[in-house]
Amino acid sequence: MKHTNGASTERFIYPLTFDPVFKDYPWGGRNLAIKLGRTIPDGIVAESWDIAAHTHGSSVVNTGPLAGKTLPEVQALLGEALLGDRNDQALAAGKFPLLIKILDANRWLSVQVHPDDAYGLAHEDEPGKTEMWVVLHADPGAELIYGFAPGMTRAHYAEVIGTDASVDSLHRVPVKPGDVIFVPSGTVHALGPGIIVAEIQQNSDSTYRIWDWGRPRPLHLEKSLDVLNFSQVQPGPATPTVLLDEEGLRIEQLVRCPYFETERITLPAGHHYYGLCDGSTFEIWAVVQGKAALDSNAASLTLQAVQWVLLPAELGEYQISAEEDAVLLRVVTPENEG
């Protein structure tokens, strides 16, 4: 077990749950309470930053010996024991590599784009932002903007960007619960009304607004044109790769990119998943449907939809048991990180 300042950190290695950070952006609503049964503050709630370690908001551990500490404070204390040896860049930077959110799109989000790492570091003093969504809820007819329609060029888009016409040549995709949308940096995108998503992303808050539906917020037109990928033409939802499908247990790889690897596990009631945090990477788990118990040598807890837990890289063996039919997400950092 790693040591910090000469003291063993073993008692701090246990499954970590957090109090989230809430954001009241104007496109939010009340559906995190109404649809997901979450406890949220009064007023508009657009985002719940569930596992966050950013200067714009850091989640706070809510149980165990680390209760009251922010995630950056936990990383400073545990270092590699938390992140794992795959995450040298994050350890050197002193910055947790991922940011986990739940978004409630009660109105259209701004039409927007995120920079890549090189542009983000040069212009925003932080890495870029590649992200993915797992759709948790979608009203009938709900849609999102994702990439360009055929025929759009940078020169033509430069003529209309920042106006109502910004949205005319964008690709719209109808979505339903369970759909997976991968949004690499450079992709024009916007969530539409009636959609709730789980968002897994790089730990960055750099967003360039192209059009905000008339809301009086700043637009970032020159930077948007710098980073937009005009080869993203009519993309569709990701197609999961089935890794295992037997006796009701189903494991699908949803997205694998240099920043995160996400799997979806369908676990029937009474079934178990056995895992090992072997020191290479932390693991983030969520129950997005149903109810499941997580047991390890350090601690046990029960998770219901939609709750997340962070497993430190040196946690060791653990077991997840479905107390009722459950669907879970598992997020790790891949070996070819960043």
What's the rounded mean pLDDT across residues 40-49? 97
pTM value is 0.95
Q: What is the DSSP string of 151-167?
A: T--HHHHHHHTTSGGGG
Say whether 209 is catalytic: yes
Calculate mean pLDDT across residues 83-92. 95
Q: Are strands 57-58 and 7-8 parallel, antiparallel or unpaired?
A: unpaired
Residue 6 reports pLDDT greater than 80: no
Per-residue pLDDT at 7 = 53
Task: Note the pLDDT tens digit of each residue in 102-159.
Answer: 999 999 999 999 999 999 999 999 999 999 999 999 999 999 999 999 999 999 999 9
9 pLDDT higher than 90: no
Catalytic-role residue among 209, 217, 250, 256:
209
User: Can you say how many angstroms the Cα of residue 90 is from the centroid of all Cα atoms in its chain?
Assistant: 17
Q: Is the pLDDT of residue 211 over 90?
A: yes
Q: Would you say residue 3 has pLDDT above 50?
A: no
Q: How large is the average pLDDT for residues 97-105? A: 98
The reply to whether omega before 306 is within 30° of 0 (cis) is yes
What's the pLDDT band for 2 if we cut at 50, 70, 90?
Answer: very low
pLDDT digits (tens, 9 = 90+) for 159-186: 999 999 999 999 999 999 999 999 999 9
* Mean of the per-residue pLDDT values of the chain: 95
Cα first-last separation, the chain: 26
Closest among 312, 334, 324, 333 to 77, alpha carbons compared = 312
Region 261-289 average pLDDT: 97
pLDDT for the residue 335: 85
Q: What digits encode the pLDDT tens for the residues 221-254?
A: 999 999 999 999 999 999 999 999 998 899 999 9
